[in-house]
C-alpha cells in the first residue's frame, strides 16, 4: 500500500469513532448535570473512552493493511 492509501484508510475508519466519542461525552455531561448535580466528569473516564476509540481505529487500519482479500 502507498502512503496515500494508508492515509485514506485512517480517515475512513476514524470519522465514526470520533463523532461517537464526542456525542458520548455530551451525553455524559447532560446526565452528569441531572444525576450528580453538575460534578465534573472524570478525566479518567474520558481517557478510557478515547483509548478505546484509538484501539478500534488502529485495529481497523491494520486489517485494511495486512489482510489480503481472497478471490
- φ, ψ of residue 59 in degrees (nearest 5): -65, -45
Express each pLDDT in 50-66 by its tens digit.
898 889 989 988 888 88
Say whether pTM exceeds 0.85: no
pLDDT in tens, 16-33: 888 988 898 888 888 887
Instruction: Give the whole-angstrom CA distance, residue 63 versus residue 70.
Output: 14
- Which residues, at least 6 apart from 60, have a Cβ–Cβ distance to it below 8 Å? 9, 13
Amino acid at each position: 500500500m502507498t502512503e496515500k492509501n494508508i492515509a485514506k484508510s485512517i480517515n475512513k475508519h476514524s470519522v465514526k469513532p470520533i463523532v461517537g466519542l464526542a456525542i458520548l461525552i455530551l451525553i455524559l455531561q447532560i446526565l452528569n448535570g441531572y444525576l450528580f448535580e453538575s460534578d465534573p466528569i472524570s478525566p479518567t473516564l474520558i481517557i478510557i473512552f478515547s483509548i478505546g476509540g484509538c484501539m478500534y481505529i488502529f485495529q481497523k487500519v491494520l486489517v485494511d493493511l495486512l489482510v489480503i482479500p481472497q478471490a
